[in-house]
């Protein structure tokens, strides 16, 4: 879900995503690539290669319309879920 939200702002590439997510959440960055692959296969992302000034050509990920719809759905569900958990913590 984080991947989808981050990619929604602007097209992004794997390394940038991995960095942004691991800044905030403890995660093995290597697992982001299988995730991106799976979501690309499911049609949530399109990829294209772009030359970059420094380093190798980058594989960019662009969120598709299907991906955007899926993201909005996930965010909605997450809000509901986290509100539920918050209220349980507050009452408990």
Chain residues in the site for another protein (CB under 8 A): 1, 13-16, 18, 22, 28-31, 33-39, 41, 54-59, 74
Q: Measured from the CB atom, is 78 or 87 closer to another protein? A: 78
Q: Measured from the CB atom, is 53 or 90 closer to another protein? A: 53
Helix then strand then coil, % of the chain, to nearest 5: 65, 15, 20
Q: Measured from the CB atom, is 54 or 91 closer to another protein? A: 54
**At its nearest, how many Å lie between another protein and the CB of residue 32?**
9
């Amino acid at each position: 879900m984080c991947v989808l939200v981050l990619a929604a702002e602007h097209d992004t590439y794997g390394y940038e995503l991995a960095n942004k997510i691991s800044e905030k959440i403890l995660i093995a960055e290597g697992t982001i690539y299988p995730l991106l692959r799976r979501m690309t296969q499911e049609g949530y992302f399109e990829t294209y290669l772009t030359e970059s000034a420094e380093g190798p050509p980058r594989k960019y990920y662009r969120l598709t319309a299907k991906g955007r719809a899926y993201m909005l759905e996930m965010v909605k569900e997450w809000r509901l879920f986290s509100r539920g958990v918050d209220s349980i913590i507050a009452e408990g």
